[in-house]
Amino acid sequence: MAAPKLIKTPRPQSAAWLTAAALAAFRAEGTNAHRLCSHREAWIERFDEDALLSYKNEAIRDLLLAELPEWLEKNALPLRRVFGKYVPRQNEERIAPLLLSGDATLPLTTLVSENGLRYGLDFAAGYSPGLFIDQRMNRAFVRRVGIKRLLNTFAYTCSFSVAAAASGAMTTSVDLSKKSLDRGRENFALNGLDTEGHTFLADDALDVLPRLARRGEKFDAIILDPPTFSRGNNGRRFQVERDLEELLAAAFEVAAPRARILISTNCARLDRVALERQVRFTLKLTKRTGDLHREPDLSDVPSEFAARALWLTLR
């Protein structure tokens, strides 16, 4: 009887690791929050001396953990801890990151820098530590274009508001979570920014936008970066595929002439083409016109892993 044939399990494909040149560029610009590597099933983000490994697959998680020490040594980059975060299919299954390696006695809070601005992180606060790396180019755009009044909806820890305020803008930050807005105020303080004249509203953006419109408020920049799913006031369900057009139309009512509006989503079912189609449909529906552009892709986050984002400049 012939011996059974052994079926070899293929080794998982290696991740794409950050190049030495890209790491040097981050050091030169004062950024220590960025991707270290990307794989379709897992990725590692650096937050100063900590790293967060997000994974959909335990085998890929273990592969990246095995490759990480060699890359760190080769690039002379010290890390004190590595946290792990499972990426589930359902939002309800999300949990805070867990420590995979490093000193468990260290505080779970830390500080990072991005283009010279500082942000506070908390690995115990929830599913995200407090800064979305894939919005770095959009925050840089906010600093660059000379905004006077920014409305930041779904503001989370107010990183866009900090970027705008650092360039002299007045900001209004809206988020359902008072704790997130309190962390936003702390981010202002970390950068020596006085919060006087800046507004922080713990409320539902879909309720706030009509109130601002009735008061005649106008903003020359508006950030629309909603979650894929959420529950607002009175248990109202927000689903980005269904409700993005309503949200954008409400934002038009508080947009100053030539306002810039960022429309961004992580919804897997809304690719760049579908997102642009929704924006153009809303423009047509509301009898408005505008120009669309995207900021350049990030050097450390492949476009297929980044949020889909468009800037709309109203005419």
**Residues near 164 by beta carbon (within 8 Å), at least 6 away in sequence:** 142, 143, 147, 150, 152, 171, 221
Instruction: Report the SS3 class of residue 313.
Output: strand
CATH of domain 133-314: 3.40.50.150
CATH classification for the domain delimited by 16-108, as one of 1.10.3470.10, 3.30.70.1290, 3.30.70.660, 3.30.750.80: 3.30.750.80
Q: What is the pLDDT of residue 239?
A: 86
Q: What is the pLDDT of residue 11?
A: 46
Do 181 and 175 meet the contact criterion of CB atoms below 8 Å apart? yes
Which residue ranges in the chain fall short of pLDDT 70?
1-14, 91-92
Q: What is the pLDDT of residue 84?
A: 97
Q: What is the pLDDT of residue 95?
A: 84
CA 98 to CA 131: how far, in whole Å?
17
Q: What is the pLDDT of residue 307?
A: 93
Residue 289, Cβ density class (10 Å: 0-12 exposed, 13-18 middle, ≥19 buried):
exposed
Q: What is the pLDDT of residue 2?
A: 45
* pTM of the entire predicted model: 0.93
- Same topology, domains 16-108 and 133-314? Answer is no
CA 109 to CA 41: how far, in whole Å?
27
Do 235 and 206 meet the contact criterion of CB atoms below 8 Å apart? no
Domain ranges within the chain, ordered by starting residue: 16-108, 133-314
Q: What is the pLDDT of residue 92?
A: 67
Q: What is the pLDDT of residue 288?
A: 97
